[in-house]
Amino acid sequence: QVQLVESGGGLVQPGGSLTLSCVASGIIFSSFTWTWYRQAPGKGRELVARITATSTTDYANSVKGRFTISRDNAKSTVFLQMNNLKPEDTAVYYCNCNVFGKLIWGQGIQVTVSS
């Protein structure tokens, strides 16, 4: 059974930084693309950043230049380094993997950017 566990969220002031982690179990981590999504209150879930098995990355326009996605295959962990955070980054952040057509989600973690 595949499980994803996110950590690293919290409350941060505008301009601050956070790093989210997502640890996977029950899966050959290195073989898959990993994605971070977020969902703000009253809005739909949106893709934030993605990293492929060959470490190719892409980002939502709203976070380019501020967020960095990375992976550590030895630790089965995907990271999201978030810098220069803005109030509009406030959301629940989810780790995701598409495993042969089945979407696997973490439980989500709250990030709140507020002074």
Other C-beta atoms within 10 Å of 78: how many?
30
**How would residue 62 be classed by pLDDT, with cut points 50, 70 and 90?**
very high
Is it the case that residue 18 has pLDDT exceeding 90?
A: yes
pLDDT at 53: 95
pLDDT at 1: 87
Coil, helix or strand at residue 91: strand
User: pLDDT tens digits for 40-53?
Assistant: 999 999 999 999 99
Query: What is the average per-residue pLDDT within 60-68?
Result: 98
β-pairing verdict for 10-12 and 109-113: parallel
Share the mean pLDDT of the chain.
96
Q: What percentage of residues in the chain have a pLDDT greater than 90?
A: 93
User: pLDDT tens digits for 75-98?
Assistant: 999 999 999 999 999 999 999 999
